[in-house]
């Protein structure tokens, strides 16, 4: 059994398995890459921009319009890889596949190591294969060709370092945490995906307020405040009216509520450890704090102190928010009492005395952590403004604009309550995969108990609700180890950051969320599953032979998952199956035969065509990988003139699509069809309008 004690053996075979499987895929037929592996059009936005950068054209998709519609660190990864596109258009894709395999392997090892640091060896041995060989995670994170492999690695790296920091701090090996190091890792997380800023902010709270109940209560309160305010406003007129009228105002009120409510909760003692006083006193403090905060928010709204840009929300919504927020914040403190049961609570201290004692350290460490991350973000934004004329990526601005338009030909805002809460069983707002797929499988098993051909979603929500109740009972009544892990690990701030991240998309009328946005949630799901498994098997691990047996079982499960994944890859990444002269995309011969060499072609989307087409240039018409100036032209209804001035001769698109928002028919007077392929027309872009 000695080999089971050697961590490096497990890591070696795990990494070797991942790399071997991906090496097989990397040398398969060229046709596999655009049609089986890198199938998402958005990925080719990165690929073509990276290729253009290496060829001296700058940050541009089409060689004409400068663009910043991407996450910066993944572009940095892609640039040296797509240098080789000048020799062979498929070679960079083979290299990128292996680079993503390395990210996959390292992320799995990090998850294994952080679980190994706090959980049983058998449970830790399941974390890595759960991540690396899960079909949904691999498809969404590692096969799209987008920034998600880097984001997953960065999140796992940060959480692993936080686990080590927590262990060292609790063992009192050092009084001062390595804030600068943690901040730099947080910067990597931030620039891997810019929307991970919410996680970075919450992690800072967890680090800085260590040793205080603020550490866990404040991040959860932020989620409760966000959820309460937005749900309260949406209840007044429904999701559709919320998206069209109140989303901007709701966000302003949420930001104000973050400040007002947390200050009131702290001032009235609601951030003192709940177990240091009676339950009745806790409820009274939370009630008074929420009441005062709601009065202040009503006053702020009535005097129109909030920035302009949205419609005034109904006053009754703030009353509903008062009720919801009180219930949520009181429930969080009740749960915290249960989670920390058995721990010695700190003595009760007046809030102002507590602030006086800790203010200097909190301020110093906040300056270090948020200073490094804040300065990095500020420099990035200033650089964008100087180079591209806008502070943030134009792609995000466009998708938020789409959301303001309601229903467009592209994606639309969250349109139902399950979407709004991120718990829908399918679709882009299904934010908790792969747990969702697991619950759906359980829901299928209970069909005999709840029959019906159209009750699949209802069964899913029944299973989800039952799972939540069961987890709460198991946590509070039966598993001290689980409570200890939750209270002394980064799981709570990770959950809070993921919750705010979801709400930042679903409650702000964002018009273009994608399934790969939820990479942080995927990491959290894997960690939670591992923690639950550990809580179940840990009581049996006190017998050494049982512990070894459980590790052997974990190895067998990991091996089985690797074999199943290997079978899948060898099935879809074929060898000597496709003719070497087969076009990578069926549309390429059509465009090359019906347009002159060096033609500049406008397309909605067009990422993969732009990368593979020969001797022609594709200009992106939806604006996601175009310039801020083009975005303004689309908004002003002058996009056709803008494109014509930049040399666009032909448009390849569905004319009917261009009649609807966000285009509103502005191209119609300038287009003349002359060929058709696959439901799209090839149209001349005329110099003067026909009418």
Does residue 145 lie in a domain region?
yes
Q: What is the mean pLDDT of residues 563-576?
A: 95
* 371 has pLDDT over 70: yes
How does residue 306 score in pLDDT terms, banded at 50, 70 and 90?
Answer: low
- Of the residues 319, 345, 371, the one at which a domain ends: 345
Q: Is there a single domain that holds both residue 561 and residue 634? A: no
Nearest CA to 538 out of 489, 474, 464, 594 is that of: 474
Q: Is there a single domain that holds both residue 560 and residue 591? A: no
Q: Is there a single domain that holds both residue 293 and residue 315? A: yes
pLDDT tens digits, 57-109 = 999 999 999 999 999 999 999 999 999 999 999 999 999 999 999 999 999 99
d(CA 394, CA 446): 46
Q: How far is CA 234 from the centre of its chain?
A: 23
Does residue 419 lie in a domain region?
no
Residue/partner pairs of 631-640 with CB below 8 Å, 24 or more apart: 631/394, 631/397, 631/398, 631/401, 634/662, 634/663, 634/666, 635/401, 637/664, 637/666, 638/666, 639/663, 639/666, 639/667, 640/666, 640/667, 640/669, 640/670, 640/671, 640/685, 640/689
Does residue 264 lie in a domain region?
yes
Residue with the bigger pLDDT between 445 and 341: it is 445
Torsion of CA 643, 644, 647, 648, to 10 degrees: 70
Q: Is there a single domain that holds both residue 242 and residue 302? A: yes
Our count of domains for the chain comes to: 3
Query: Burial, 462: exposed, middle or buried (Cβ in 10 Å; 0-12, 13-18, 19+)?
Result: middle
Per-residue CA distances from 224 to 20, 231, 293, 315, 503 (Å): 45, 10, 14, 20, 11
Element (H, E) at 558: helix 544-572
Q: Is there a single domain that holds both residue 219 and residue 285? A: yes
Does residue 478 lie in a domain region?
no
Q: Is there a single domain that holds both residue 647 and residue 548? A: no
Q: Is there a single domain that holds both residue 662 and residue 573? A: no
How does residue 7 score in pLDDT terms, banded at 50, 70 and 90?
Answer: very low
Nearest CA to 403 out of 516, 507, 317 is that of: 507
* 175 has pLDDT over 70: no
The answer to which of 126-135, 152-161, 229-238, 404-413 has the lowest mean pLDDT is 404-413
Q: What is the DSSP string of 18-72?
A: HHHHHHHHHTS-TTHIIIIIS--HHHHHHHHHHHHHHTT--SBSSSSSB---S-H
Average pLDDT, the chain: 90
pLDDT at 456: 83
pLDDT exceeding 70 applies to what percent of the chain?
Answer: 96
How does residue 353 score in pLDDT terms, banded at 50, 70 and 90?
Answer: confident
Torsion of CA 16, 18, 24, 26, to 10 degrees: -120
* 279 has pLDDT over 70: yes
d(CA 221, CA 216): 9
pLDDT at 304: 65
79: containing domain: 1-30+68-172+542-577
In degrees rounded to 5, what are phi and psi of residue 245? -115, -40
Q: Is there a single domain that holds both residue 681 and residue 604? A: yes
Query: Burial, 88: exposed, middle or buried (Cβ in 10 Å; 0-12, 13-18, 19+)?
Result: exposed
pLDDT at 255: 93
Does residue 129 lie in a domain region?
yes
pTM of the model: 0.94
Does residue 635 lie in a domain region?
yes
pLDDT at 207: 93
Q: Is there a single domain that holds both residue 271 and residue 312? A: yes
pLDDT tens digits, 176-198 = 678 899 999 999 999 999 999 99
- Of the residues 532, 552, 577, the one at which a domain ends: 577
Exposure string for 248-265, b = 16+ CB within 10 A, e = fewer: bbbbbbbebbeebbbebb
Helices (H) and strands (E) in the chain, counts: 27, 5
Q: Is there a single domain that holds both residue 603 and residue 655? A: yes
Q: Is there a single domain that holds both residue 552 and residue 596? A: no
- Of the residues 345, 378, 393, the one at which a domain ends: 345
Residue/partner pairs of 684-691 with CB below 8 Å, 24 or more apart: 684/649, 684/650, 684/651, 685/602, 685/640, 685/643, 685/644, 685/648, 685/649, 685/650, 685/651, 687/644, 689/640
pLDDT at 173: 54
Q: Is there a single domain that holds both residue 548 and residue 653? A: no
Does residue 564 lie in a domain region?
yes
Does residue 143 lie in a domain region?
yes
């Amino acid at each position: 059994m000695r080999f089971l004690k050697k961590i490096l053996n497990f890591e070696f075979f795990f990494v070797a398995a991942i790399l071997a499987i991906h090496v097989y895929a990397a040398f398969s037929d060229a046709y596999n890459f655009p049609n089986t592996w890198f199938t998402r059009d958005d990925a080719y936005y990165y690929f073509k921009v990276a290729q253009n950068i290496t060829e001296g054209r700058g940050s541009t998709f089409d060689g004409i319009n400068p663009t910043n519609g991407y996450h910066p660190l993944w572009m940095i990864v892609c640039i040296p890889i797509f240098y080789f596109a000048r020799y062979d258009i498929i070679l960079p894709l083979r290299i990128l596949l292996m680079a993503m395999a390395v990210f996959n392997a390292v992320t799995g090892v990090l998850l294994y190591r952080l679980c190994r640091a706090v959980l049983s060896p058998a449970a830790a041995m399941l974390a890595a294969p759960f991540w690396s060989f899960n079909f949904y995670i691999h498809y969404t994170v590692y096969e799209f060709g987008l920034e998600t492999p880097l984001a997953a690695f960065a999140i796992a790296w940060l959480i692993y370092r936080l686990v080590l920091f927590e262990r060292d701090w609790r063992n009192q090996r050092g009084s001062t945490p390595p804030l600068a190091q943690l901040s730099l890792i947080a910067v990597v997380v931030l620039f891997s995906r810019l929307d991970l800023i919410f996680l970075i902010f919450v992690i800072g709270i967890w680090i800085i307020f260590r040793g205080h109940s603020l550490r866990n209560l404040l991040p959860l309160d932020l989620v409760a405040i966000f959820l309460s305010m937005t749900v309260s406003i949406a209840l007044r007129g429904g999701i559709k009216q919320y998206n069209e009228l109140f989303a901007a105002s709701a966000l302003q009120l949420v930001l104000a509520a973050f400040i007002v409510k947390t200050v009131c909760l702290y001032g009235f003692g609601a951030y003192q450890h709940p177990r240091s006083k009676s339950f009745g006193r806790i409820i009274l403090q939370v009630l008074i704090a929420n009441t005062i905060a709601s009065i202040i928010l009503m006053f702020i709204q009535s005097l129109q102190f909030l920035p302009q840009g949205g419609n005034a929300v109904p006053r009754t919504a703030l009353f509903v928010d008062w009720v919801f927020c009180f219930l949520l914040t009181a429930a969080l403190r009740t749960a915290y009492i249960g989670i920390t049961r058995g721990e010695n609570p700190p003595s009760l201290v007046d809030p102002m005395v507590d602030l006086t004692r800790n203010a200097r350290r909190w301020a110093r460490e906040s300056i270090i952590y948020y200073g490094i991350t804040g300065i990095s973000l500020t420099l990035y934004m200033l650089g964008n403004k100087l180079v591209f004329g806008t502070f943030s990526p134009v792609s995000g601005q466009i998708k938020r604009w789409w959301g303001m338009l309601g229903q467009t030909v592209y994606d639309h805002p969250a349109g139902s309550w399950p979407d709004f809460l991120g718990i829908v069983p399918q679709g882009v707002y299904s934010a908790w995969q792969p747990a969702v797929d697991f619950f759906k499988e359980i829901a299928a098993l209970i069909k005999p108990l709840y029959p019906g051909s159209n009750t699949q979603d209802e069964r899913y929500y029944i299973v989800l609700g039952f799972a939540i109740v069961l987890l709460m009972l198991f946590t509070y009544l039966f598993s001290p180890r689980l409570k200890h892990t939750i209270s002394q690990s980064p799981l709570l701030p990770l959950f809070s950051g993921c919750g705010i991240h979801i709400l930042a998309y679903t409650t702000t009328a964002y018009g273009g969320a994608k399934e790969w946005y939820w990479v942080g949630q995927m990491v959290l799901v894997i960690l939670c599953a591992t923690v639950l498994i550990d809580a179940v098997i840990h009581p049996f691990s006190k017998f050494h032979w049982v512990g070894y047996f459980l590790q052997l079982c974990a190895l067998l499960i990991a091996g089985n998952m690797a074999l199943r994944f290997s079978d899948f890859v060898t099935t879809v990444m074929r060898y000597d199956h496709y003719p070497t002269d087969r076009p990578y995309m069926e549309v390429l011969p059509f465009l090359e035969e019906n347009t002159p060499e060096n033609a500049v072609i406008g397309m909605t989307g067009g990422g993969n065509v732009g990368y593979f087409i020969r001797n022609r240039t594709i200009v992106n018409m939806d604006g996601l990988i175009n310039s801020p100036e083009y975005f303004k032209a689309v908004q002003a209804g002058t996009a056709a003139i803008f494109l014509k001035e930049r040399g666009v001769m032909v448009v390849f698109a569905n004319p009917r699509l261009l009649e609807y928002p966000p285009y509103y028919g502005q191209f119609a007077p300038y287009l003349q069809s002359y060929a058709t392929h696959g439901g799209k027309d090839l149209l001349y872009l005329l110099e003067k309008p026909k009418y």
